[in-house]
Amino acid sequence: MEKTPSLLGIIIRLAIVITFALFVFLKFSFDIFDIHFDKRDLKYSILFEHATGVQKNTQLEVSGFKIGHVIAIKHIKDNGKTKAKIEVVINKKYQDVITDKAYIFIARRKFIGLTFIQIIPTLDGKVLQDGDTINGVSPPRYNLLFTRAKELLVYFNKFLEKSHFNDLLNEYKSLITEIKLLKKDINEKLPSLKSNSLKLIADVKKLKKVYNNNSKSLIKDTKTVLLVTNDIITNNKGQIINTLDKSSDLSDKMINLKDDSLFLIHKNRPKINKIIDDIELSIKKIDKLQKKIENLTDTFDIGIGNIGLFLNDKEIYDYSRFIMKIIKQESYRYLLPIKHKYK
């Protein structure tokens, strides 16, 4: 006969089942809604260009551990752009994770597609304080990327049409053909170039040998010239020194002569100035005399005055020549009586 359980045992078993079920429910609720009994007193703001999938109570995680959740989402203007400002609260014991160089981005869980905010801390960053703002890394917007890619393809096709890309390809092909022909020409001329290079090297070696021989003889001749020069300087050292002394004395005399000349010039400057003034006055008088002579010759030329008439009147001139000729021929008539008188 089976033993019937007592009422107390049934109540105890039922209490255990209810307690376990309540524990499982509370644990699941705390994990889903990120509920903790410890104090959560740090608040931060994260800026994203867009925050698709983020909503209130979205969790913040570090290496799989939940450290906080989203409490509000706002849209603000930043440098002329609209951005999403995500306000979050984080447990104080995770404060060291939030630094100014932390890498924060929006992620999704595989399979279930649950959105959360992932934080990758850094060791060299500065720990942020309560109320600070940090920039997050926005996820890529694939629809915008596809639109931009299409626009880029359209722009690229227009660019090809305007830039005559086909003509460029044809020119490139012709350039390749010319390069191949040039390569063939080089391969054909390479043997002759090689032989000419060998001949050039042989000639250079010969030239080097001749240069070495000539340089030795040149060095020898230079040494000989230096020795002869040294002997000349040694033998004529006294004369050279004497010449230098005389040159020094002459230089001193020239300096003294220069000083004496400057002294005489300074002393006789009034006399020199007077002589210069007299010379200038004499030059002016000579100029006046020259002008008078020019005026006189002008009067002679035009026949003014006795001399002018004499020079310009041909009859008077011929008559004067005739008288002078008679005086020359019969001069004894005038000179002899005078001579006898004085005897």
Euclidean distance between CA atoms 86 and 54, whole angstroms: 9
Residue 178: predicted pLDDT = 85
- First and final C-alpha spacing in the chain: 227
Question: Which stretches within the chain are classed as H helix?
Answer: 7-33, 142-162, 165-235, 237-267, 269-302, 305-312, 314-329, 331-342
Q: Which residues contact 297 (CB under 8 A, 6 or more apart)?
A: none
d(CA 31, CA 238): 117
pLDDT by residue, tens only, the chain of 343 residues: 445 566 777 788 888 888 888 887 777 666 655 555 445 568 999 988 888 788 888 988 988 888 889 999 888 888 888 888 889 998 888 888 888 888 888 888 766 668 898 888 888 888 888 888 888 887 665 555 666 677 777 777 777 666 666 677 777 788 888 888 888 888 888 888 888 888 888 888 888 888 787 777 778 878 888 888 888 888 877 787 888 878 788 778 888 887 877 887 777 778 777 888 878 887 888 888 778 777 777 776 666 666 666 666 667 667 777 777 777 777 666 555 544 444 4
Confidence (pLDDT) at 88: 92
Indicate the angle between helix axes 314-329 and 331-342, nearest 10 degrees.
50
* Residue 8 C-alpha from the chain's centroid: 99
Q: State how far the Cα of 98 lies from the Cα of 65, in Å rounded to an integer.
A: 14
- In the chain, where are the structural domains located? 34-139, 313-342
Eight-class DSSP state of 225: H
Whole-prediction pTM value?
0.34
